[in-house]
Chains A and B, each alone.
Chain A
């Protein structure tokens, strides 16, 4: 018996003026799954992810989250987003707030928790990403890897049903990537559902339940990592993966 589908994109199209970046994309993420989206730059990976929580409005198509079509106008998107965390390539921490306040802000504004309660939940999330000791630091005093772990804690603290990761390690120095990937791995072990746009092929191959290969605004392949990385795919995919496969 398969787990229930938590997030589904149905025939998503996205145009920026005359430019069509997504041309009929369908994806499904089931509860507890880690799905990676890979593909060349400009293939629409990030646009798709940003359509999932409506940071970008799809031009056409539906996003079904937890059984509800959230692209309908009547849906309160703020309520939906509380259950759908997001982690950004550029971290996007609030530079004027310390680490604890970065994580607890939404808990207080949205979760309506009191200060003590919000701080307790925030500390729990910071402990999960091994950043509790930096609770009083400001983002500017942290390394990129540390900032991204706080970014993950900010998403985790809301106890979402899924977390969207938009190239979480692409802005990091190589030696800082592993600490962030380790945190993502431990989240997965705790059963967090994750949809990850990434260039970390090792991560996608080793930790994903499924890998989606996007090219030219469509899903070019959607399969288990074993199949995707065994070079059985089409020409375009083989050439994209060849560099990675050759490096091994």
Chain B
């Protein structure tokens, strides 16, 4: 009787004993994943916004083409490929970086490409008169960007930016391929150690717990922007 229940769904995917034994290991990974996720989001948004601003500012066609090329290539390549290339190919040119740093760098750069495109489309949506009005009051180009153009562009593209940040957090799981002990990697290790997939269930719940606050935060920001 209990034998039959043990081999059932609960035992396999929702095993309380396994959770008890493996959660310290998985929870340790949560801290790492949150840290890297936050760093990736901050770096990606800053770099992406800077690139969009640069693309808007420059008069040089070459520079503009380079930025567009950077964005298009990074958006087209599978993140896993970029990660593997960076981690396994760089040592051949005598640059060796750890798996955590490699994950952070790759995901930041990929996120920056997507954010650039979001912010750029936001900037393009704004009427030309916004920049002209700011400049007509004597504000410099940079002051106008900072106080008038970028706040509006970021607000307009907030839903897409949120989506890309969610994707970036989930992509930290790719780090497991190069040995970064993030949530999925440690859950997988735990589930093979214990020959039970329960840690993966735990992993799924943890991801929801990680990402849902982000969704709520962006909804709150959108709502606040919408009032205006």
Report the count of interface residues on A (CB-CB < 8 A).
Answer: 27
- Partner among A79, A92, A140, A158 whose Cβ is within 8 Å of the Cβ of B133: A92
Contact across chains for A78 and B139 when beta carbons are under 8 A apart:
yes
Mask: chain B, 167-195; 1 = CB below 8 Å from A; 0 = not: 00000000000000000000000000000
A106 at the interface (CB under 8 A from B): yes
Q: Is the CB of A154 within 8 A of B130?
A: no
B132/A88 in contact, CB under 8 A: yes
Does the CB pair A88–B155 fall under 8 Å? Answer: no
Cα-based distance from A109 to B148 in the complex (angstroms) = 12
Chain A, Cβ-Cβ closest to B142 = A109
Give the number of chain B interface residues (Cβ < 8 Å).
20
Contact B228 A110, beta carbon cutoff 8 Å: no
B151 touches A55 (CB 8 A): no
A110 touches B139 (CB 8 A): yes
Highest count of chain B CB atoms <10 Å: which of A88, A105, A106, A154: A106
Q: Which of A93-127 contact B (CB under 8 A)?
A: 93-96, 105-106, 109-110
5 closest A-B pairs (Cβ-Cβ)? A106-B137, A92-B133, A82-B138, A92-B129, A86-B136
Interface residues of B (CB under 8 A from A): 127, 129-130, 132-140, 143, 147-148, 151-152, 155, 225, 228
Q: A96-B228, A105-B139 are in contact. List 16 more A-B contacts (CB 8 A).
A: A78-B138, A78-B139, A80-B138, A81-B137, A90-B127, A92-B132, A94-B134, A94-B148, A94-B152, A96-B152, A96-B225, A105-B134, A105-B137, A105-B148, A110-B139, A110-B143
**Chain A: residues with CB nearer than 8 A to chain B?**
53, 55, 78-82, 84-86, 88, 90, 92-96, 105-106, 109-110, 138, 140, 151, 154-155, 158
